[in-house]
Each structure stands twice: as structure tokens, then as C-alpha cells.
Structure 1
Amino acid sequence: MVDTGFSSFDTMVDKANRLLKDIERANGWPKERRKQSYAALRAVLHGLRDRLPVDGAAHFGAQLPILIRGIYYDGWKPAETPVKLSVEEFYQRVREEFPYAVDGGIERVVGSVLDALQLHISEGEWKHLKSLLPNSLAAVLP
């Protein structure tokens, strides 16, 4: 547990760290690869955010832990969304934002991030998220 001296901040950091640890655990990455798990989370979140309609993106963002929400909204241009992406284009977009070579390829990375996110989002919100995506991309979500 982090001790910033302010319990609300400590809680925010702990929630963000738990999500990153879930990604690391799923990929078999040691804690020393925290930059890698952060990059994976950021790339997947941005791909989802930009594919969703503006209202859906905002609704999903509101469900994220506060620090993760900042990552999600970083650089967002709502007027330029949604961006139509096929599954292959979604993977390519994540690959462009994730500069690491990893075992299992980008599909495994995306899957591990989505699995970790699902643990931190309500079941109802997860179903709502899937309903906002085209069937081919929704099928990628656990």
C-alpha cells in the first residue's frame, strides 16, 4: 500500500496498481515491467475510447478508477470520435501505441488488459460497453 499521507490518494494509487498488477500477472511480467503494463493499458483504453460514441466513451470512463480515468481521457478529441475500426485495425492501433515485443503477440496483450479491466468494472457496465461496439470487436471483449 502506498502512503501519501492522504487516504483518498492512497486508495487511488492502490486501485491503479492492482489493475496494472492484474495485467502483469496475466502476461507473466515481473513488477519491473510496470512501464510495459502501463503502456498496454493506455493503448487498449485509447483504442476503446476512440471507437465508442462520445456518450458511451464518457459513460465508460466514469466507471474507471480515478487515476486510470486520467489515462483514458488523456489526448481525447471527442469531435473526432467514433473512429470506425475493424478488429484488425483495433489490434494495429494498439500495436502502434505499445512499443514492446512480447510473447503471445498483441492479441494476448489486448486480451490480458480487457480481462483486467473487466475485474474492475461492474458487470452491467461491461455489458453496456460490449453493446456499443460492433459485433466483431465486441467478440474480443471477455
Structure 2
Amino acid sequence: MAIRVEEYVLKGNEFIRHVARELNDAENTDHASRVIVSVLHTLRDILSPGESLHLISQLPLYIKAAYVDGWKPGIAQMQPGSMADLLDQLRSQDEHIAERYLISDDTAKQEVQAVIRVLKKYLSEGEARNIIARLPSLN
């Protein structure tokens, strides 16, 4: 069986471009990539290993790789009690993005919402509902 690297790259880039469009910055895929990684790493800090596996089973391979990069399953999950807790965790994932893009809570919240909107297109309805239920209200 041949490895379909080009297909994996294409699908990963499609996901990134989709997030970039949701961020209203279609050309800035570097920004979108950093936001994706920060949101995914925040999610994995919240979800159990089993929940994480359900989530990543539905994502493109390169996005799965971003999710698991540096992951230490078994570390206690974070339980964000508030939106402020969630945004603090998000900012702690990448200092560069925190300093450049996630300065205000409103902006950071919009960035999370953009990634969640794209994730919902890739996840089953039940999986998306389970993920969103673990987050403080994004409204």
C-alpha cells in the first residue's frame, strides 16, 4: 500500500485554508496554523485521552499530527471554569500568537469560534456536541 503524502498534505492545507477564511484572513495561513495548533492543544488539555482519540479520528492526518505533537496522555485534564480560564490556556500554548493575535479576549474568543466552526464541518454531530459541551459558552 502506497503512502498518499500528497493527499494528506492537500487535505491538511484545505483545513488550514478553511480556518484562515473563517478568520477573515484567507491569505494568512501561518496565522491560521498557529491558531489551529493553540486551539487543538487547549482541547487536548481539556479532553480525556479517549475523547481526544474520538476527536482526532475524524480529522485530516496532518491536523491529527498537530493535535498529538508533544502530547502526554495521562496528564490531568484541565477543567476551564470560565471563558477567562479557557483563553488563558489558549494563550499559554504559543507566546507568539498570544502577543500578536490574542491580545484582547474578544479577539481570542473569535479565533476559538473560527476553529470550532471548521471542526464542526469535520466532526460528527454528536462528537461536535460533546466537544462544545466541555467548553465554557463561546457566545
TM-score of Structure 1 vs Structure 2, range by shorter chain: 0.7 to 0.9
Aligned counterpart, 2:36: 41
Aligned counterpart, 1:3: none
Question: d(CA) in 2 for partners of 1:50 and 1:108?
Answer: 20
Question: d(CA) in 2 for partners of 1:30 and 1:61?
Answer: 24
Question: d(CA) in 1 for partners of 2:49 and 2:38?
Answer: 18
Is the contact between residue 20 and residue 34 of structure 1 (CA under 8 Å) also seen in structure 2? yes
Question: d(CA) in 1 for partners of 2:36 and 2:11?
Answer: 14
Aligned counterpart, 1:125: 127
Partner AA of 2:86 in structure 1? F
CA deviation vs aligned residue, 1:20-65 (integer Å, no higher than 9, x gap): 111111122142x211100000000010111011211122122211
Partner AA of 2:40 in structure 1? L
Aligned counterpart, 1:53: 48
1:101 aligns with 2:101: yes
Is the contact between residue 42 and residue 71 of structure 1 (CA under 8 Å) also seen in structure 2? yes
Is the contact between residue 64 and residue 120 of structure 1 (CA under 8 Å) also seen in structure 2? yes
Aligned counterpart, 2:114: 112
The count of corresponding residues between Structure 1 and Structure 2 is 131
Tell me which protein shows more helix as a share of its residues. 1
Question: d(CA) in 2 for partners of 1:34 and 1:108?
Answer: 16
Deviation at 1:138, TM superposition (A): 5.4
Partner AA of 1:81 in structure 2? A
Question: d(CA) in 1 for partners of 2:107 and 2:138?
Answer: 15
Please give the TM-score of this superposition, normalised by the length of structure 1: 0.80
Aligned counterpart, 1:84: 79
Question: d(CA) in 1 for partners of 2:132 and 2:107?
Answer: 23
Please give the TM-score of this superposition, normalised by the length of structure 2: 0.81
Is the contact between residue 86 and residue 136 of structure 2 (CA under 8 Å) also seen in structure 1? no
Percent identity between the aligned chains?
24
Partner AA of 2:79 in structure 1? K
- Unaligned runs of at least 5 residues, structure 2: none
